Amino acid sequence: MTNQTPAVDAVPTAPLPPATILGYPRIGPDRELKRAVEAHWRGDLDVNALRERAAALRAATRAHLRELGLTGASAVPADFTYYDQVLQVTTALGALPRRFADLRAGAGADPDGRSGAAPGAHPGTSLPGFFTAARGEGERAALEMTKWFDSNYHYLVPELDESTPIDYVPGFGAVDPTDGPAAQVLEALAAGEEAPRPVVVGPVTYLLLAKASDAAAPGFRPLDRLADVLDAYGHLLADLWAAGAQWVQLDEPALVCDAWDVPREEVLAAAADAYTWIAAIAERPRVLVAGTYGPLGDALPVLAATGVEAIGLDLVAGELPPAADLARLGGKTVVAGVVSGRNIWRTDLGAALAVLESLRGALPETASVVVATSTSLQHVPHDADRETSLPDDVRSWLAFADQKVAEVRTLAVGLARGRQAIAGELTADARLRAARAAHPGVRREEVRAAVAAVTDADRTRAPYAERAAAQAARLRLPLLPTTTIGSFPQTAEVRAARAAHRRGGLDDAGYQAAMRAEIERVVRLQEEIGLDVLVHGEAERNDMVQYFAELLDGFAATEHGWVQSYGSRCTRPSILWGDVSRPAPMTVAWSAYAQSLTDRPMKGMLTGPVTIMAWSFVRDDIPRAQVADQLGLALRAEVADLEAAGIPVVQVDEPAIRETLPLRRADRPAYLEWSVGAFRLATGGAAPATQIHTHLCYSEFDVVIDAVDHLDADVTSIEASRSRMDILPAVAAHGFERQLGPGVWDIHSPRVPSTDECAELLRRAVAALGIEKLWANPDCGLKTRAYAETVSSLRHLVAAARRVRAGA
C-alpha cells in the first residue's frame, strides 16, 4: 500500500448536518427497483432503460428525503445498489471469483456496449455482468448468499484467495455502469443538489464477511488481503473525493461481532491499521465509521485512536459506551443511532433524547453529536401512513422509514434547542405510548397468566429412551426411514386457488376442495414413491410464518410493508403487536385429512416460535423471551390438537434459530436459553409415543449444535448435502444422542441427484453416526422445486435408503 502523507488542509471542513440516517430502503415505495430489474432479466427492459429507471428512483428518493428534512450536504445517504451492498464492493474492487474472471472490471471491452458506459471510458463490470455474478449462469454458480449479521437481509459472499485480483480501477466511479457511489454523487451534483454521503461497506467488514475460495491455500484467511483491499479503498475514496463527496460512511458492523474465526485482537488490529491508513490519505472525504447492529465495545477506543472524523454508535442494540471511552472522542463527531433501523415501532422520543443528552454530557467539549438511525433503514418498509387497512391504533404506534426520518429530525431539534422545542412531539409520543400500553390486545391477562404459570415440567418430556421405545412400537419404521421436510412443489394451480380464495373469487368450499385434492395427490405420490413418513405438502401456506401469523391473535399484516430480502426478492413481514393466542386450531384439519388417506404415519407441520419471531416485526414493549413463550403456548395447544386427531409425528421447524444468534458471544447463552425454552414449551406436552421432529437449514449447524441438542426433539433434519456431510464428525464428537436427518438432496438447485450420490452421502453419514440414528431426507422443503425433478429426486433418495439399509 502507498501511504500518503496526511494533508489536513485538504480535508474539507463542512461538518455533518445535525440529523441523518445511515441508509434508506432502496427498493422504492412500490418496489419500483424490483419491477425494473426483473423486467430487465426477462428481457423486457434494456440496460439503458433500467439505468434510467434506477436514476429516476434515486432522484425521487433524494428529493423525498430532503422534503422529510434531511437537508445540508452529506445528510442524504447515497447507498443505492441494483442488488447488494457487498456485491457492490466486490465489483468495485474487481474481486470477482475466478469463474467470473471475464466479468471483472478491466477484463476487456464490453463488445456490444451493453454496460451503458460512456464511450471510450473504462467499462468496469457491466451491469449484466454484475447480475451474472449475483445470480449465476449455467454451470457458473452464483456467489453464495447468506444472512447479513442478525438481520433478514442476505448479502453475496465474496470469495477470495491469495491471487484474487483486488484492484480498484481509477476513474471507475465516474463511468460506473453499476451506478456505484461515486456515480451517485456526480448524478446528484449534476442535478444541482448538495452532495449526498456515499455509504460503502468498510474494508474490515468486507473481509470478515468474505470466505476463502476453493482455490485458497490451507490456512488462508480473507483478512490476509487487508493491505490490498486498503489500497483499493484508497482509490475509491479518492474517486469519491474527486466526484465531490464531502463525507463517506464506511459501515463496519463486523466490529460489533466478536464471534469471527479470526481472534478479536486481530480484528481490532485490522481496524486500527485500516483506519489509521485511511485517515492518512490526503485527498479523501471525511470518514464516518459506523458501528452498527450492536455496541462497538473495545473497538471504540481503537477507532478513537485513529484519525477518522466521525464514529457511528448503535445506541439501540447497544448501550451508551463507558465514560472513559467517550472521553477519548475529543474532536470527533459522534453519530448517535438512537432511532432503530431494525424495528417498525415509534421511537420513545423522551428516552432517546435522554440518551442523547447523557451522551453529550459525557463527551469532551470538542466532540459533536449528530442524531441518526442505529443502522440503515433498509430493514424497514417505506411509509406507515400508507397502511390504511391496519387498525388506526396499531398504525399510530408504527414508524417505518419515513416516520423514522422525522423522528431523527425531531430529536436533533430537541438536542440543539432543548426539550421545550419539541414539547408537542414529546407529548404526542407519550400519549400514543400510553394508549398502546393500555390497548386490550397488547396486554391480555389470560395470556400473561398462562405464561406466568409455565413450569420447567412443561418444557420437559419423558426421557428419550422411553420415547424412542414408544415411538418405535407405534410407528414401526425401517432403518434409515425416509421423509421430506414438509412442503411439496407449489404449482401454478395451487397458487391460483389460494389467490382466488383471498380475493373472494373462490368460496370456502371451493378452496377446501382444491386443497384437499392437492393433498390427496401429494399423499398418493409419496405412497407410490415409497416414502415412510408422509407430509400433507403445505399447499395451503403462502409462507411458513405468515400462515400462522394470519391465524394467531396478536398479529397484523401490512399492505405495502415490503422489505428487501435479497436482490429483487422482497418480503412483507407480519407485525406481532399484541399478546399472542390461538383462537382455533390452525393446521389440524389439513393434517387430519391427509392422515385419513393413508395408513402410513403423517407428519404434522408447524413453524416454531423463534422462526415466527425472526421473520416478523416483533413488539418492543415486552422481552422477546416472553413473546416466545406466548408463541410456545399457542403451538403447544396445536400439538395437542394434532395428537388428539391421531397425528403420530409433529415437526416444528426452526430454520431461523441460527440466524438470530446474537453477534456477541456473551449474549448467546441467554438467547439460546429462551429460544430453546420456547421450543420445548411448544413440544413439551407431547406424549412419549408422539415423535417430535425439528428442522434447521442454512448450514452452520455446528455453531448451535449444543442448543439443538437441548431442543430435545426426537429427530432433527438439517441441510448437509452441499457440504457433503462435513458436519457429521462434529455431530458425532458432540455426542448427539437422538436421531438426525442430514439432507442428501440439495433442493436449492434443480439438479436431480442420482441414487449413487444419495447412497454415497448416506454411507458417509452411517460411517459417522451409525445407521440406527439416521433418516434419509432432502435438505429442506420442496416448495420452490418443480414436480419433474422432485419425483425423480425422491425416487433416487428412497432407492438409496433401501440400498444402504440392505448393507450395499
Residues of this chain that interact with ligand GLN (CB under 6 A) are 485-487, 538, 544, 605, 653, 655, 695, 697, 780-781, 783
Q: Shortest distance, CB of residue 256 to ligand GLN, whole angstroms?
A: 27
**198-237: contacts with Zn ion (CB under 5 A):** none
Shorter beta-carbon distance to Zn ion: residue 168 or 698: 698
Strand order in the sheet with 553-556: 553-556, 575-581, 617-618
| Residue whose C-alpha cell reads 474481486 in the numeric block | 95
- Site stretch for Zn ion (CB under 5 A), options 87-95, 505-513, 554-562, 693-701: 693-701
* Distance between CA atoms of residues 247 and 238, nearest Å: 12
Q: What residues pair up with 695 in beta bridges, in sequence order?
A: 653, 717
Q: Shortest distance, CB of residue 783 to ligand GLN, whole angstroms?
A: 5
- Residue selected from 270, 780, 798, 801 as contacting Zn ion according to rule CB under 5 A: 780
DSSP for 729-751 reads HHHHHHT--SEEEEB-S-TTSSP
Q: How many CB atoms lie within 10 A of CB 214?
A: 10
Q: Shortest distance, CB of residue 758 to ligand GLN, whole angstroms?
A: 18
Q: Shortest distance, CB of residue 554 to Zn ion, whole angstroms?
A: 25
Beta strands in 188-237 (DSSP E): 197-201, 211-212
323 neighbors 383 (Cβ within 8 angstroms): no
Name which of Zn ion, ligand GLN, none residue 28 binds, using a CB cut-off of 5 to 8 Å depending on partner kind: none
Shorter beta-carbon distance to ligand GLN: residue 655 or 741: 655
Residue count at the site for Zn ion (CB under 5 A)? 3
Shorter beta-carbon distance to Zn ion: residue 585 or 655: 655
* Distance between CA atoms of residues 749 and 407, nearest Å: 44
Shorter beta-carbon distance to Zn ion: residue 337 or 655: 655
Name which of Zn ion, ligand GLN, none residue 659 binds, using a CB cut-off of 5 to 8 Å depending on partner kind: none
Radius of gyration of the chain (CA): 27
Name which of ligand GLN, Zn ion, none residue 544 binds, using a CB cut-off of 5 to 8 Å depending on partner kind: ligand GLN
Shorter beta-carbon distance to ligand GLN: residue 23 or 608: 608
Q: Shortest distance, CB of residue 481 to Zn ion, whole angstroms?
A: 18
**630-659: contacts with Zn ion (CB under 5 A):** 655
Binding-site string for Zn ion from residue 724 to residue 763, where x marks contact by CB under 5 A and - marks none:
----------------------------------------
* Distance between CA atoms of residues 659 and 146, nearest Å: 9
Q: Shortest distance, CB of residue 717 to ligand GLN, whole angstroms?
A: 9
* Distance between CA atoms of residues 158 and 133, nearest Å: 10
Q: How many CB atoms lie within 10 A of CB 395?
A: 17
Helix axes 423-438, 401-417, angle to 10 degrees: 130
223 neighbors 266 (Cβ within 8 angstroms): yes
Cell of 210: 468474505
* Distance between CA atoms of residues 7 and 564, nearest Å: 41
* Distance between CA atoms of residues 689 and 622, nearest Å: 36
Residue, CB closest to ligand GLN: 781
Closest CA to 185 of 77, 70, 289: 77
Length of the chain: 808
Buried b (16+ CB within 10 A) or exposed e, 443-460: ebeebeebbeebeeebbe
Shorter beta-carbon distance to Zn ion: residue 140 or 722: 722
Q: Shortest distance, CB of residue 152 to ligand GLN, whole angstroms?
A: 12
Shorter beta-carbon distance to ligand GLN: residue 303 or 605: 605
Q: Shortest distance, CB of residue 449 to ligand GLN, whole angstroms?
A: 32
**How far from 564 is each of 25, 34, 550, 577, 613, CA to CA, in Å?**
8, 9, 21, 21, 17
Q: Shortest distance, CB of residue 704 to ligand GLN, whole angstroms?
A: 15
* Distance between CA atoms of residues 658 and 668, nearest Å: 11
Q: Rule CB under 5 A: is residue 95 a binding residue for Zn ion? A: no
Closest CA to 151 of 492, 614, 559: 614
**How far from 231 is each of 79, 97, 182, 245, 645, CA to CA, in Å?**
22, 19, 17, 19, 65
Q: Shortest distance, CB of residue 170 to ligand GLN, whole angstroms?
A: 44
Shorter beta-carbon distance to ligand GLN: residue 183 or 780: 780
Beta strands in 393-485 (DSSP E): none
710 tagged catalytic: no
Name which of Zn ion, ligand GLN, none residue 486 binds, using a CB cut-off of 5 to 8 Å depending on partner kind: ligand GLN
- Helices then strands, each counted (H, E), the chain: 27, 21
* Distance between CA atoms of residues 676 and 710, nearest Å: 7
Name which of ligand GLN, Zn ion, none residue 643 binds, using a CB cut-off of 5 to 8 Å depending on partner kind: none
Shorter beta-carbon distance to Zn ion: residue 76 or 780: 780
Q: What residues pair up with 571 in beta bridges, in sequence order?
A: 563
Name which of Zn ion, ligand GLN, none residue 714 binds, using a CB cut-off of 5 to 8 Å depending on partner kind: none
Name which of Zn ion, ligand GLN, none residue 657 binds, using a CB cut-off of 5 to 8 Å depending on partner kind: none
Q: Shortest distance, CB of residue 647 to ligand GLN, whole angstroms?
A: 15
Q: Which of 122, 734, 748, 796 is catalytic?
A: 748
* Distance between CA atoms of residues 538 and 595, nearest Å: 14
Name which of ligand GLN, Zn ion, none residue 605 binds, using a CB cut-off of 5 to 8 Å depending on partner kind: ligand GLN
Assign 802 to helix, strand or coil. helix
* Distance between CA atoms of residues 430 and 650, nearest Å: 45
**694-713: contacts with Zn ion (CB under 5 A):** 697
Q: Shortest distance, CB of residue 787 to ligand GLN, whole angstroms?
A: 15
Closest CA to 84 of 371, 360, 376, 347: 376
Q: Shortest distance, CB of residue 159 to ligand GLN, whole angstroms?
A: 25
Q: Within the chain, what is the greatest distance between any pair of CA atoms?
A: 82
| Residue whose C-alpha cell reads 397488547 in the numeric block | 442
- Site stretch for Zn ion (CB under 5 A), options 232-240, 308-316, 350-358, 778-786: 778-786
| Residue whose C-alpha cell reads 439438479 in the numeric block | 751
Please name the helix (run of DSSP H) or strand (run of DSSP E) that holds residue 278, with its range, or none.
Answer: helix 264-279
* Distance between CA atoms of residues 696 and 673, nearest Å: 17
Shorter beta-carbon distance to Zn ion: residue 632 or 741: 741
Cell of 753: 441427484
Shorter beta-carbon distance to Zn ion: residue 179 or 779: 779
Shorter beta-carbon distance to ligand GLN: residue 163 or 784: 784
**442-501: contacts with Zn ion (CB under 5 A):** none
Pairing of strands 563-566, 569-571: antiparallel
Shorter beta-carbon distance to Zn ion: residue 48 or 784: 784
Report the interface residues with Zn ion, using CB under 5 A: 655, 697, 780
Catalytic sites, residue numbers: 748
